[in-house]
Structures are given as structure tokens and as C-alpha cells.
Structure 1
Amino acid sequence: MIELRTPAEIEQMRPAGRFVAEVLATLRDETKVGTNLLQIDERAHAMIHKAGAQSCYIDYAPSFGSGPFGKVICTSVNDAVLHGMPRDYVLRDGDLVSLDLAVAVDGWVADSAVSFVVGTPRAQDLALIDTTERALDAAIGAATVGNRIGDISAAIAAVAHGDGYSINTDFGGHGVGRIMHGDPHIPNDGRPGRGYPLRDGLVIAIEPWFLATTDELITDPDDGWTLRSADGSRGAHSEHTVAITADGPIVLTDRSFLGVA
């Protein structure tokens, strides 16, 4: 069921968005060559506990995963792009890292993701990350009252295809509110003017993610969660929680107030 939020409810969602933004900015700043993925999860867990917030992941057990996730943040590295289960892995120079975090504060959820390289970056990795970020910006620009879901999807696809990337539509954006994953589904490819009409009060997570040379995913058999590229190529993922209002889109997980992108 698609739910619309009142202006007062959107204001109540702001603390969750701000907190998720702060945690991701902190973790990105602290994650270096030599950082263990389990340390990232421990740090996120400590920040969530200190704030009195609730993880949306730790008990999450959808049909596409292998039992409860059991961690509080997704840490996807290199050929992993989504649902990366934190594991005993020490980051190496040049690793491409995607962090995806969803947290509830006072019963309201915010969801966001950021990708970056630790140590010495490869040009192709920076280009891939840049494509996800520009696609996200284009999608937010299309998230206006009077448009439709297809306009958001088409905006994402235009950037990706323009940069030569193919698109997987199995996983994409979604409604956000009292739960992490709600209606509507927002694929990363679509036709403008099609789909559910965007209305004042709709709150969604928009999340472009792309793989360098494929659009096919495989599930890591070791953890039953981590989604990797079928050909071993690298992936990147950018995401924001966005409220659609009559005055334009509000990016609830915007990190610019912290002085970072």
C-alpha cells in the first residue's frame, strides 16, 4: 500500500534522515586501508545504540535473503554492490566500498547509501561512482508533483546509458516511512510518463546502482545475502531518502550540512 505523509510527518522524519547522514559521513571518513568490515558494523552499531535509534537490518529477513541479516549496515566491496554482509575482511588499497544504512528514529525510517574508494583510486571506479551520483541527482530532479515513477526511472537510465552502463531492474528504490521497504517500487530504468503519479507527501528512497560491465547479479553462497556482479566487475551504489512535496523534493538524508557530498 502506498502511503502519503502530512507536512508534520515529513518534519518528524527529518531526525532520522539527519542521523543516517551523520553516520554515513562519519563512517566514510573513518574507513581507510586496513579497516575491517566488522569494525564498520561495530562502529555503526555503537552510534545507533548511543542515539537510541533502531537498526532496520539486524532482524530483516526477506525472501531474497538467507535468514535475519544480523548486522546493522551493508558493506559491499568491489564486485559486491548490494546487501553486502559485513565479514572479516581488511580493506586494501584501491578497494571500492559501498555503505548502505537504514535506521529508524522515533519510529520513522531513513535509508541512504554512499560509495567511495579507500587508498589509491582507479579512474574507472571514480567514473562509476560519479555516474551513480549524477543519476541520483537527475532522479531527485524528476521527483516532483505531477510527474510519475517512470520519470524518475527514466532520469536514472538516461545517465547510466549515456555513460555506457547497463541496468538491472531487480532491485531499486522504494517507499519509506514506518518501515524500510514499502510501496512503490522504483526501478532504475523505465519510461517517462508511466507508472504511479507522484503526489505531495510521497516519501521514497531513490537508489541508482550499476555494475561496470554487466547487469547480472549472483548471490554470495557463503552468506546468502551479498549480491555480486556475475562477471566479477565492480559496482557502485548511491541512495537518498526523498520527500516529494508541492514545493519540490526534500532530500531528508542530505549530507551537505556536514560539509560533505
Structure 2
Amino acid sequence: MYATTQNDITRQVVRVAQLLLAYGAESDLVEEITQRLGHALGLESVEISISSNSLVLTSLSVGRCITTTRRIREHGINMTVICELQRICLLTEKGIYGLSEVRKRVGRIQPRTYPAKFVVPMIGLSCASFCHLFGGDLAACLITFLASAVGMFVRLSIAKRHFNLLLNFSITAFVTTLVAQTGYQFDLTDTPKLPMAASVLMLVPGFPMINAISDMVKGHLNVGISRWGHATLLTVASVIGITIAMQVGGLF
């Protein structure tokens, strides 16, 4: 394999690994996809080392090693991107895609998200459903729907302006809890505590927690601990927002 070809393949493989990590794939999957893609494109060996905010990849071909480093910038969890990268890997293994086609397909990948006009009411409905399962009455469910929908709108609005994620969670929790307190302030429901508990469930960082545990169980302790710490900070930020809102509402 010519050196230029190995360089091109290595750049493409490390780009796939970078995207997988940026959009929330677990470390074991990143290793598997990059190694399989590298072998499918003609590399003899692909070794990858993943840390909390960077990765190092080494490719071997005809006795020649190339090592490259990339920084990881998180873009939020998006399974559409991860599934598309897996699909590209599978088609490359079958011989349908070559290097140029892989480069073209990876370059076209765009993270797709649901429109806010659908996300906001669905989040409100899901949190209201939790309130109902917890035993809340109709008024409590309506308050939960309103609080979580308003909170999700605030969260999406802040995210669109690229504010720090911890600040986003804290402000969202504050606004959501303020709205959810109306059951207490105006005696609208017989179960005023439930809207306050159910409306902030949208802020639980479940996926990062699952990825963190999965990484640690599979031996990627550094990445797992980093993800666990990040998820914990998000939880703490939410708790701070909830606490301040309760203090403002006079519930302490």
C-alpha cells in the first residue's frame, strides 16, 4: 500500500472514530467499528487509545506505522449519526464502498433532530404520564405537562445559543420547578409534590450514565469515570436549579 493511500485511510478511519465519540457511542463500539473499517479498507492493523477528550489512532500497513491524534468535542447524543457510521462500515466490509465513497458518505452525515414544536409537547406528555403513574390527580398532571413543556422550551432555546450545558440544566431546572410550584402556591391539586418531582425527570442524564457504566465494565475506566463525572455534574446542576426555585417559592 502506498504511503499516501495509508495516510488517506488513516485520516478517514480516525474521522469516523471522532464522530462516534462526539455523538455518544460507547468506547467498545468505537474500537470495533474503527478496526473493522480499517481492515475493510486495506490496513493490516488499527490500534486506538481513547481518553476523556481525545483519541490516538495508529495504523499499520506493509511495516509502516502512522499515528494521529484528534480532539473530541461533544455534540450531544445522536443515534442517527452512530447508526449511519455503522452502516457505512458494514457496506465497506461487503465491498460496496471504497475509500472515496466512504469519504463522501461520511462528509454528508448531518445530525438530524426532531422539530421543537413536536419535542416540547411530547416531553410534557411523557412527564405528565409519569405524574399519573405516581398517583397524581388530573390537575397535577396538567401542571406537570405545562412545567415540563416550558422547561423543555427553555432548554432548547439555551442550547440553540450554545451556552454551557451545566448552566443550561441549572436554568431549565429552575424554570421548570418554578412553574411546577403553582400547585402549592394556588392550591390547585391535592398532590402538589408530584408535579415538582415528575416535571424535572427530563433532566435525568440516563444515557450518559449507562454509557459510563458500560465503559467501566468493559475496561475503559478513564472514559467511563469521565462520563460518570460529567453525568454527575449535570445532576448537581439540576439540583442547584431546583433548590434555588424552591427557595424563591418559599417552600423551605
- After TM superposition, the score normalised by the length of structure 2 is 0.28
Flag the structure with larger Rg.
2
More helix by share: 2
Q: TM-score, normalised by structure 1?
A: 0.28
If each structure's strand is expressed as a fraction of its own residues, which one has the higher value?
1
